[in-house]
Amino acid sequence: MGTESVVRKAIYTVLIILLCLPLQGCMQVALRATPSLFPNVAATIFEECDPELAEASIPPNLKLMEGLLKSDPENRKILTTLSMGFAGYSLLFIEPEDPERASAMYLRALEYGTRALGEKGAPLRNRDGGLEPVRAMLKNMDPNDLEALFWTTLSWNAWINLNLDKPSALAQLSASEACLRRVLELDEHFFYSAPHILMGASLAARPPILGGSPEKARIHFEQALQENHRKFYLAQVYLAKYYAVRVQDKELFARTLAEVVHGNPRELQDVCLINRVMQRRAQELVKQAEDLFL
């Protein structure tokens, strides 16, 4: 759907909402009458090739959706979009500069994602319950739960990776990895094979004593690169940052990042924003090479 169509739907929805303001229950009807609006608005953000414009646009859009959510607290589309929005905003713009703030953003995304999963997400809202309730919950997940489960899992894993020095985060590793494995089972190709990229980063980032395995990580990265035809730059940047640094392969690090730096981020228009930001991230990593390799 083009930007013009999304804007028309947004205007239509806003008009209905304004008319509904005085009427009890009408707001819920208006929000549910346009179920595709919120994912499509989020999609236009990922299509934006200007990172500065996107960075400025995301927060007000997220606050608008949080306001709409108050009128329909169980709206799965809004909850999933909020999970995606806070996770994406943190990953692209916050994490490199402010890991502490990024942690808070990932927890916010995680909360919205577990709410989007409804009753199935209950064990994820009480993450102190251990692995078995999560495993039982995951057996009941189906393709209709995939998008919400993916963004929930991405947020959870990202928060853990930023807090590996905390016992509370380490205690959640097994459950979060079980969620990621279930995402892979449901659709390993989702979002340009992002489940493989996340698994590769998770396995490469952790030491063997915590279940890490560079060899298995490389397999997941290669799978993602093959399936997205090396056009989704998150795979190359994470391969360089997590795997190449872990195994101290400086040649792979330089070659992979050069591919991103000299690539065309518009080859995948629907994720142009991610590719543009990853292109900048690659340039920054290249400058850090001397500090990352012995």
Look at residue 125 in the predicted model and tell me its pLDDT.
87
Q: Is-contact 96 281, C-beta < 8 A?
A: yes
Look at residue 36 in the predicted model and tell me its pLDDT.
54
Q: Is-contact 34 259, C-beta < 8 A?
A: no
Distance CA 260, CA 273 (A): 14
* Ranges in the chain, pLDDT < 70: 1-42
Global confidence as pTM: 0.87
